[in-house]
């Protein structure tokens, strides 16, 4: 086998065999294939796609390039959940303890944020003392004791994906549905839970802008998961406007805790209950309707909040935040954007809000950037709301940015409205 033949086969729409794809992934991971030749193959995939069989073979080869977790020591059904990301998406912080409170185990490895979308690991690290880098034995022990743990990705989990994703990012080959599927599913299969729920975001704040593309990705990931022997379900959800009221790391942890405290319901709460119900149903806990009721009871009874508290404490964090969210990082500077007229909000561009939050210091443009954990945006309105003159539309928060002119310009431009 050689890389030139493989590039030509993909360029000419000829299906690669399982052995050819495994050789390609292994040789690139080991450094035997240079970046420029792998870039040529990735571009051929972007232009011509892969078959479902090729996507499965690529996913498995990437999974097998590193460690595969052994969760057999966990005495129960394990369920993993993945979101393709978006603005204000703190669903894992609500769903994982709620599902655990209902009797399933949620071992989860998550990533950091890059660009306008946030990362679950960054959000959790806004809790004082919270450790996201654990030995597998400690991770497994916490899952067994509380029902869930969320940690950062292992250094040797899917090394092929790490290397290939960096190359895709540098060569404009990110936006390929088969490559996105293989990247996500290789990591999910390496975590090796019994069941996988996939939350595929669609809209202005998501990677998949159109519903057709989101559905194609969801269907492909679900098929790959099932062909790999897992119970797998993919659901397309809306990311046209920010999810919840808070965008930014500590702000999102605050909102998640307040939902688990029973203080708020609404779009974010409903979505979390729906996704938790799907996870529980996938794990054999009952029908989706029965599991939805179980999830709501876990929140209203306080059991889900208690699970979150115990996990925070076992991972070195200050569990008192579950009672007092003011213990989270607080912004030194705040700026209120007020309505200059009576208006009706018809839409909110998630990506623009995410970019405004990034300008405030809530995200990173490169992996080495430092995040301001207190930074972000508090939305005081949502699509469909009628706003009176001088009402606060949103509040910008930061401890590193005191000149809010650029961020406020982006944030205001995110609003779609008409005067009333």
> Among this protein's residues, is 13 annotated catalytic?
no
| Whether the Cβ atoms of residue 259 and residue 272 lie closer than 8 Å to each other | yes
> Among this protein's residues, is 131 annotated catalytic?
no
pLDDT (0 to 100) of residue 113: 66
Average pLDDT over residues 336-340: 95
Average pLDDT over residues 243-254: 95
Residue 85 vs residues 257, 286, 375: alpha-carbon distances, Å? 20, 28, 19
Residue 294 vs residues 56, 85, 285, 355, 402: alpha-carbon distances, Å? 35, 26, 9, 37, 45
Higher-scoring residue by pLDDT: 367, 133: 133
**Residue in 108, 187, 201, 410 annotated catalytic:** 187
pLDDT (0 to 100) of residue 117: 64
pLDDT (0 to 100) of residue 112: 75
Ordered by start, the domain boundaries in the chain are 3-63, 79-322, 330-419
Q: For the structural domain made of 3-63, what CATH number should be given?
A: 1.20.970.10
**Residue in 123, 168, 230, 285 annotated catalytic:** 168
Query: Would you give the distance in Å from CA 93 to the centre of its chain?
Result: 11
pLDDT at 289 over 90: yes
Look-up of token digits 């909110």: 348
pLDDT (0 to 100) of residue 114: 60
Query: Would you give the distance in Å from CA 48 to the centre of its chain?
Result: 28
pLDDT at 115 over 70: no
Q: Which two tokens stand for residue 11?
A: 């360029």
pLDDT digits (tens, 9 = 90+) for 364-402: 776 677 899 999 999 999 889 999 999 999 999 999 999
Residue 67 vs residues 61, 105, 159, 190, 380: alpha-carbon distances, Å? 12, 20, 9, 7, 44
> Among this protein's residues, is 82 annotated catalytic?
yes
Residue 173 vs residues 13, 41, 168, 303: alpha-carbon distances, Å? 18, 10, 5, 44
> Among this protein's residues, is 281 annotated catalytic?
no
Average pLDDT over residues 304-324: 98
pLDDT (0 to 100) of residue 131: 96
pLDDT digits (tens, 9 = 90+) for 73-113: 999 999 999 988 778 889 999 999 999 999 999 999 887 76
Helix/strand/coil percentages in the chain, nearest 5: 45, 15, 35
pLDDT (0 to 100) of residue 165: 87
Look-up of token digits 């003011």: 326
pLDDT (0 to 100) of residue 118: 67
Beta bridge partners of 198: 82, 234
**Residue in 80, 161, 194, 349 annotated catalytic:** 161
Average pLDDT over residues 40-63: 97
**Residue in 110, 126, 154, 183 annotated catalytic:** 183
Torsion angles phi and psi, residue 328, rounded to 5: -75, 160
> Among this protein's residues, is 326 annotated catalytic?
no
Question: What does pLDDT average to over the chain?
Answer: 93
Q: pTM, whole model, 2 decimals?
A: 0.91
pLDDT (0 to 100) of residue 259: 97
Instruction: Provide, rounded to the nearest whole percent, the portion of the chain with pLDDT above 70.
Output: 98
Q: For the structural domain made of 79-322, what CATH number should be given?
A: 3.40.1030.10
Query: Would you give the distance in Å from CA 316 to the centre of its chain?
Result: 23
pLDDT (0 to 100) of residue 370: 86
pLDDT digits (tens, 9 = 90+) for 160-195: 998 998 899 889 898 899 999 999 999 999 999 999
Residue 267: name the closest of 16, 89, 77 by CA: 89
Q: For the structural domain made of 330-419, what CATH number should be given?
A: 3.90.1170.30
């Amino acid at each position: 086998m050689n890389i030139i033949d493989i590039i030509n086969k993909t360029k000419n729409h000829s299906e690669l065999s399982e052995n050819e794809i495994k050789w390609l992934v292994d040789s690139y991971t080991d450094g035997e294939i240079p970046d420029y030749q792998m870039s040529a193959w990735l571009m051929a995939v972007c232009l011509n796609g892969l078959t479902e069989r090729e996507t499965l073979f690529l996913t498995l080869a990437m999974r097998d390039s590193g460690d595969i977790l052994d969760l057999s020591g966990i005495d129960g059904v394990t369920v993993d959940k993945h979101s393709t990301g978006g603005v204000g998406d703190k669903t894992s912080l609500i769903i994982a303890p709620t599902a655990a409170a209902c009797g399933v185990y949620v071992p989860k490895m998550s990533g950091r944020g890059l660009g306008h979308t946030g990362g679950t690991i960054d959000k959790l690290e806004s809790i004082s003392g919270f450790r996201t880098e654990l030995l597998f034995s400690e991770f497994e022990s916490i899952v067994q004791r509380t029902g869930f743990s969320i940690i950062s990705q292992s250094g040797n989990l899917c090394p092929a994906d790490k290397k290939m994703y960096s190359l895709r990012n540098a060569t404009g080959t990110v936006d390929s549905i088969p490559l996105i599927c293989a990247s996500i599913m290789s990591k999910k299969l390496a975590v090796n839970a019994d069941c996988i729920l996939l939350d595929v975001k669609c809209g202005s704040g998501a990677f998949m802008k159109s519903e057709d593309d989101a559905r194609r990705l969801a269907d492909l990931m679900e098929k790959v998961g099932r062909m790999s022997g897992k119970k797998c379900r993919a659901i397309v959800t809306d990311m046209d406007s920010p999810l919840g009221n808070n965008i930014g790391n500590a702000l999102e942890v605050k909102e998640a805790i307040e939902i688990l405290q029973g203080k708020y319901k609404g779009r974010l709460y409903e979505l979390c209950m729906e996704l938790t119900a799907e996870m529980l149903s996938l794990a054999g806990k009952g029908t989706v309707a029965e599991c939805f009721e179980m999830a709501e009871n876990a929140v209203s009874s306080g059991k889900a909040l208690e699970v979150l508290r115990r996990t925070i404490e076992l991972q070195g964090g200050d569990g008192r935040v579950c009672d007092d969210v003011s213990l989270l990082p607080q912004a030194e500077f705040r700026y209120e954007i007020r309505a200059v007229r009576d208006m009706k909000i018809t839409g909110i561009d998630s990506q623009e809000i995410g970019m405004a939050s990034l300008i405030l210091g809530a995200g990173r443009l490169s992996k080495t950037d430092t995040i301001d954990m207190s930074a972000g945006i508090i939305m005081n309105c949502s699509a469909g709301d009628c706003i009176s003159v001088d009402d606060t539309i949103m509040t910008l928060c930061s401890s590193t940015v005191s000149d809010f002119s650029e961020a406020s310009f982006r944030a205001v431009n995110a609003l779609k409205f008409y005067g009333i």
